[in-house]
Amino acid sequence: MTVAYTIAAFIAAFTLIALMLPREVVVTRRADVAMRPEDVVARVASTEGFQTFNPYRTTDRNLKITPFGPTEGVGSGFRFEGKEGKGTQTVTDVTATRVTHLIDLGAMGKLVQTIEAIATGNGACVTWTVTSDMGFNPVFRIFGLFIDRMLGKTYELGLKNIAALT
């Protein structure tokens, strides 16, 4: 009986500690590129344009991309399936300086991705931000501790790919 109580207490403590971790996780990377902000936004808001710098295409040559909706703007998007997972990415908002995507990873959750391009003297400062709500799942909350390390390098690669387009 003591072993059962000890295990139950450990599980309860683990769950409580995990639930005290942040619910929302944000990953942000920035880079200066020699491209006009409106050109960056046009690429990001287009399914075909996004593929020209998509970091997952760089790391997974067999990544399957299936476009849907309009070719650009709100509602445009694509399904993806590759070695790092599958899901959809859909443009949900476009402004003069920013494009927002909803990335639906099915059971793994939904992420909101924003790519913003602000004019600088030599082009644009591009900021790539992904926000994820870990909900009340203690395992997801713990996983959230590692997201910056996991996704940060991917978004750095995407920014390098954008810079290489100029």
Mean pLDDT within 133-148 = 73
The whole-angstrom separation of Cα 166 and Cα 164 is 5
How many structural domains are present in the chain? 1
Strands 64-68 and 123-133: unpaired
Cβ contacts of 137 within 8 Å, gap of 6 or more = none
Q: State the residue for tokens 């920013």.
A: 98
Give yes or no for residue 140 having a pLDDT over 90.
no
Q: Could you list the residue range(s) of the whole structural domain that residue 97 is in? A: 2-164
CATH code, domain with 63:
3.30.530.20
Q: Are 35 and 152 in contact (CB under 8 A)?
A: no
Are the C-beta atoms of residues 89 and 78 closer than 8 Å to each other? yes
Model pLDDT for residues 74-129, shown as the tens digit of each residue: 999 999 999 989 999 999 999 999 999 999 999 888 999 999 999 999 999 999 99
Strand order in the sheet with 110-120: 24-33, 123-133, 110-120, 98-104, 85-94, 77-82, 64-68
User: pLDDT by residue (tens digit) across 19-35?
Assistant: 666 667 889 999 999 99
Per-residue pLDDT, averaged over 29-45, amounts to 97
Q: Read off the pTM.
A: 0.85
pLDDT for the residue numbered 101: 98
What's the token pair of residue 60?
């997974």
Pick the range with the lowest mean pLDDT from 62-76, 94-108, 134-148. Answer: 134-148
Distance CA 55, CA 75 (A): 21
CB 46 within 8 A of CB 137: no
Angle (CA) 153 159 165, round 5° = 140
161 CB-side CA count, 13 A: 20
Q: Are strands 110-120 and 123-133 parallel, antiparallel or unpaired?
A: antiparallel
Integer-rounded Cα radius of gyration of the chain:
19
